[in-house]
Amino acid sequence: MMIPSENYTYPEVREAVGSVLMHKYAEGYPGKRYYQGMEFVDQIENLAIERAKKLFGVPHANVQPYSGSPANAAVYFALMEPGDCLMGLELSHGGHLTHGHPNITFSGKYFKSVQYKIGGGFEGYGGCEGKDFFDFEEVRKLALENKPKVIVVGTTAFPRILGWEKFYNIAEEVGAYVLADISHIAGLVAGGVHPSPVPFCHIVTTTTHKTLRGPRGAMVMVTEKGIEKDPDLPKKIDRAVFPGLQGGPHLHTIAGIAVALDHAIAGGFATYARQIVANAKVLAEELMRYGFDLVTGGTDNHLVLVDLRNLGVDGKTAAVALEESGIIVNANMIPNDPNPPYKPSGLRLGTPAVTTRGMKEKEMKKIAELIEMVIVDEKNVAGEVEELCKKFPLQK
């Protein structure tokens, strides 16, 4: 499992998600429910809320969103009217469908979509460490011209540290809200290996199942800056989640989130987060040594984005070949991709799940070798993959 948005959760989380809590309806919020029988579910949801607030250092958290897309939708519907301007990172440059992808998604249909890109030539290879990967003058110009209500700062296929403060300064200039979507990097933020957006944004959204190792759910959090900008922001967010977008919350998922957050608060989680990044860096270095081109020339987080054009193969063909050998990655667009989305030029792969299995730098070198054997040498390495996985069994 090397898709960077996938991970293995804890046995205790699976226990909670598979519990009798899945049987209970609980429209509303703790202390203000529309159903009876809430004595224990209110305690569980409050526990998840308090742990989210503690872990990320925020004054308000909503743990009810079913997944990341509804979480983002709730923020938009809380802050914007149809036709208002939404600004986010372009899909092919590493953004998400819900960050304003035009014409196809709700975020691009109901709102005026303005998309920024990776800039300054850093979609290329090598020499990128410590540089800005966005042309912030271009981002500022786009914001001044379009006056967005919300600027989304978040990615799904961007392997570097995000400069939260620079986006925040632009948003301040145009009066926009900053929404930090940290779905991919929430565990890295919690573990202290990626800067937190909390001091430089108004709202944070995240899924709970990627680097955070929780169940398939999501959260919306409001920061101190968000409350300073609008004291009613927590109420607006809560109303947008329920009853605006959803009915009864999935209490079994919320219980799983509470368990995962407890693990993330524990001291050992920082070690895990550091290992995810260390593994990704070694994997990136080894792939480059084998002749693979990496978008931005490396990684600072949990994922690697490979540009396969120099090898004469497209991402979909490579992903299918790797799957046949038991290595699961996903085809992905690269910045300014000349290929269509269903057959893009890139591969996206990451280290959260293999790190959960206990693999370290030595195994990353082996994985890079196996990937090279499949894509360049056109070999099937399923046997070697199976042997490697047997050495690092999953928790029951």
Q: Which two tokens stand for residue 338?
A: 């000349």
pLDDT tens digit sequence for 162-201? 999 999 999 999 999 999 999 999 999 999 999 999 999 9
Q: In the chain, where does DSSP find H-type helix?
A: 11-17, 39-56, 68-79, 106-109, 136-146, 164-174, 186-190, 224-229, 233-239, 251-265, 268-289, 315-324, 352-356, 361-375, 382-391
pLDDT tens digit sequence for 212-252? 999 999 999 999 999 999 999 999 999 999 999 999 999 99
CA–CA separation, 223 and 227 (whole Å): 6
Question: What positions carry a catalytic annotation?
Answer: 25, 27, 181, 207, 210, 216
Do you find a cis peptide bond into 243, omega within 30 degrees of 0? yes
What is the DSSP secondary-structure string of 192-208?
A: TSS--SGGG-SEEEEES
* Sign of the Cα pseudo-torsion (323, 327, 333, 337, in order): negative
Domains of the chain: residue spans and CATH:
11-265 (3.40.640.10), 268-391 (3.90.1150.10)
pLDDT tens digit sequence for 81-123? 999 999 999 988 989 999 999 888 899 999 999 999 987 545 5
- The pair phi, psi for residue 195, each rounded to 5°, is -55, 140
What is the pTM for the complete model shown? 0.95
pLDDT at 315 exceeding the cut of 70: yes
| Residue 125's pLDDT band (cuts 50, 70, 90) | very low
Q: Which two tokens stand for residue 129?
A: 């460490």
